[in-house]
Structure 1
Amino acid sequence: MTPQLAWECACLLGEGPVWLEAEQALRFVDIKGRAVLRYDPASGRGERLETGGMPSFIYPTDGDALLFGSEQQLKLLYPDGHVETHCDIPEPGRNRTNDGAVDPDGRLWFGLSDMPEDHPGGELRCYDRGRITRKLDGVTVPNGPAICTEGRLLYHVDSPNRAIWRFTIAEDGSLTDHLLFTQIEEQAGYPDGVVLDAEGCLWVALWDGWGVRRYGPDGQLLDHIPFPCARVTKLAFGGPDLTTAFITTARGGLSEAELADQPLAGSLFTFESPVAGHHPHRVKLS
């Protein structure tokens, strides 16, 4: 599993890759580049749509639009490129949307990250058919979440504290059974985006950690894939059989010397995985 360059897209903060089966293409965002991107592996072509704001994740919906989070709003991106606001996120503070995931019931779970990432004022929230509720607070930079195929387990990343937690999603949508899944050691960087594969193993991107890790359901480290750049942000499974891993990275905040040492920082990478992933669930808008 050696990463290969897919697209030298030079993202300031590439994030949120998601495979769209109908398009046989990958969508992802550049948060600080204020854009939504599309990559077609068959042609090798990439497209960039400037959206303004700070788009942080993007998912298909039960309609013809894609839903993405941007600062304190959820927005819809239509096939013709038109963007409109779907709803505002009740947020009196300085938080912005960060990472997200969709469960089998079509609920969108997403983090609100503290800005400028120096205070534990972040939260985990859930969008359920137009209603947004708070599920967890007291975090600075929430990442993930990742949700198992049965919709019962949720993995939540507290990036600055290098901790990955696992919860049970109760029937009423509350989070119970708070368990520390794994603690990333200091020299390995910070856990960023996470995703689950078909064997229930968790893939973790390492910010300032130069790689991606795979953990078993029991929290045991199974594999580590080194990358040619430090700021690895998230992985998604795609391709016809969902065994192609697509990985976003970031170049924002690196010095000139660091960029000279890692010129591909901010690119989209790929490798062939021995295990398949899952198709993303669609957000139910109503």
Structure 2
Amino acid sequence: MTPDNPLRHWRVQRNDIHTVGQDLRRPECILAEPDGSLWSADARGGVCHLGASGEQRLVVQQPNTHFDASAGDDHARFMQGTLPNGLAFDGEGNFLIANFGTDALERMDRSGRSTVLLDRIDGLPIGKVNFVLRDSRNRIWLTVSTRCNPWVAAMRPGLADGYIVLIDQGCPRIVADGFAFTNEIRLDAREEWLYIAETTGKRISRMRVGPDGSLSAREIHGPASLGAGFPDGIAFDAYGNLWVAMIMSERLLAITPQGDVLTLLDDGNPAAIAELEHHFAQSTLTTEIMARARGSIAPWLASITFGGADLSTVYLGSLMGSSIACFRSPVAGLPMAHWQPVQQAAPVLSSPLS
């Protein structure tokens, strides 16, 4: 007999929400480690470490070559436009950074030394890299939201130029395309299905993962539309619920294994959301209109991370926040690849790919 879903009659209580960190810049994606520490993407050009004892340290990206720090020229060129977005750990504990500003997948060690791993594919600039995920076999999955520049031009119905790259045995290849602003992706517990947040499609899709990493049998998980706002970050809990951060409508949802949608938190501004939805339908969205549609708990709610020793603390990433909202969940999260041993190690990426 299947146990009752722990989320079925549960909602986040505002009084139970706390914050960690201070003076952060755009903590869009958060990684949690078993020792209780957190790492947050930071718009200052790197990641911020939040220690389990409350200490905080910014690690800024540096080019992985010798340069004259007093001149700063090489560093300035490297940092120009940088905007760390999605994060993952590689098999050695280095950071994989989907850089939404430089349009590249980068690797950074814990001292800040950084290398561009991938910025072109099939002979073309890769586009707006959004999120990176490592699986238990040490393969790297990368989402590209759009090739539109500026990216805001892709915030409209009907455009589906997003795609997914798989890097396996050091070789990158596009394994699926035609997505409406590809955002975060997650694998289920058995790594049989890849779940894909299609931001401007307002839906979660999924595809079956073949032994060679090929993707097939695309279908929608849950409803065809999740309603107001846009799905951004997603994460599985141990029961099989897929948690969804709905940016700009500032809602936290969960899609049950049966496809039902549960609302766990609603921090939206109804008037701003109505304006947002009107302009999205008319393909007239601007950054100013989007900026007005933000809440107060995790402004521009962007991601969900399970952490703590028991994986039952939920951390909410945001694009406009300066701290990280957190609360306790009645169900633990699904462990990420870096919480578990690598099943089959692939060659370490040691040089830029093309």
Taking structure 2 as the reference length, the TM-score comes to: 0.69
RMSD, aligned α-carbons: 2.3
Structure 1 residue 34 corresponds to structure 2 residue 45: yes
Q: Which amino acid aligns with 1:48?
A: L
Task: Give the distance between the partners of 1:74 and 1:129, measured in 2 at CA.
Answer: 16
Task: Give the distance between the partners of 2:57 and 2:337, measured in 1 at CA.
Answer: 23
Q: What are the Cα deviations for residues 119-171 of structure 1, in whole angstroms up to 9, with x where unaligned?
A: 43321111223111102222352112010121101110110121110111122
Q: Which amino acid aligns with 1:27?
A: W
What's 1:44 paired with? 54
Report matched runs for 1:56-67 at 5 Å.
Answer: 56-67=85-96
Structure 1 residue 64: Cα displacement? 4.3
Q: Which has the larger radius of gyration?
A: 2
Task: Give the distance between the partners of 2:86 and 2:20, measured in 1 at CA.
Answer: 20
Task: Give the distance between the partners of 1:206 and 1:46, measured in 2 at CA.
Answer: 28
Aligned counterpart in structure 1 of residue 335 of structure 2, from 263, 279, 283: 279
Structure 1 residue 266: Cα displacement? 4.4
Report matched runs for 1:254-265 at 5 Å.
Answer: 265=321
Asked if the contact 1:61/1:285 (under 8 Å) is kept, the reply is: no
Structure 1 residue 16: Cα displacement? 2.2
Structure 1 residue 61: Cα displacement? 2.0
What's 2:65 paired with? none
Asked if the contact 1:7/1:269 (under 8 Å) is kept, the reply is: no
What's 2:33 paired with? 20
Task: Give the distance between the partners of 1:217 and 1:9, measured in 2 at CA.
Answer: 37
Aligned counterpart in structure 2 of residue 4 of structure 1, from 7, 18, 22: 18
Higher-helix-fraction structure? 2
Q: Which amino acid aligns with 1:107?
A: R
Q: Which amino acid aligns with 2:47?
A: V
What's 1:260 paired with? none
Task: Give the distance between the partners of 1:186 and 1:151, measured in 2 at CA.
Answer: 28
Taking structure 1 as the reference length, the TM-score comes to: 0.84
Q: Which amino acid aligns with 1:248?
A: G
Task: Give the distance between the partners of 1:196 and 1:240, measured in 2 at CA.
Answer: 17
Q: Which amino acid aligns with 1:65?
A: N
Aligned counterpart in structure 1 of residue 111 of structure 2, from 63, 77, 80: 80
Task: Give the distance between the partners of 2:28 and 2:300, measured in 1 at CA.
Answer: 11
Task: Give the distance between the partners of 1:60 and 1:94, measured in 2 at CA.
Answer: 21
Q: Which amino acid aligns with 2:332?
A: A
Q: Which amino acid aligns with 1:209?
A: S
What's 1:231 paired with? 300
Tell me, what secondary structure is at the counterpart of 1:15? Answer: coil
Report matched runs for 1:21-170 at 5 Å.
Answer: 21=34, 23-30=35-42, 32-40=43-51, 42-51=52-61, 52=79, 53-70=82-99, 71-90=102-121, 92-93=124-125, 95-114=127-146, 115-117=149-151, 118-119=153-154, 120-170=160-210
Structure 2: stretches of 5+ with no match in the other structure: 1-11, 62-78, 155-159, 268-295, 348-354
Judged with a 3 Å threshold, the aligned counterparts in structure 2 of structure 1 residues 38 and 89 are, in CA distance, closer, same or farther, namely farther
Aligned counterpart in structure 2 of residue 242 of structure 1, from 287, 311, 315: 311
Structure 1: stretches of 5+ with no match in the other structure: 252-264
Q: Which amino acid aligns with 1:19?
A: A
Structure 1 residue 285: Cα displacement? 5.4
Judged with a 3 Å threshold, the aligned counterparts in structure 2 of structure 1 residues 130 and 89 are, in CA distance, closer, same or farther, namely farther
Q: What are the Cα deviations for residues 15-70 of structure 1, in whole angstroms up to 9, with x where unaligned?
A: 2212122x43111213x543312222x32233223333222222222224222222
Tell me, what secondary structure is at the counterpart of 2:28? Answer: strand
Q: What are the Cα deviations for residues 151-196 of structure 1, in whole angstroms up to 9, with x where unaligned?
A: 1011101101211101111223211221111344443x11111011
Aligned counterpart in structure 2 of residue 196 of structure 1, from 218, 227, 236: 236
More divergent stretch after superposition (276-285 vs 237-246): 276-285
Tell me, what secondary structure is at the counterpart of 2:97? Answer: strand
Judged with a 3 Å threshold, the aligned counterparts in structure 2 of structure 1 residues 34 and 47 are, in CA distance, closer, same or farther, namely same
The percentage of counterpart residues that share the same residue type is 22
Tell me, what secondary structure is at the counterpart of 1:43? Answer: coil
Higher-strand-fraction structure? 1
Aligned counterpart in structure 1 of residue 214 of structure 2, from 152, 174, 182: 174
Q: Which amino acid aligns with 1:66?
A: F
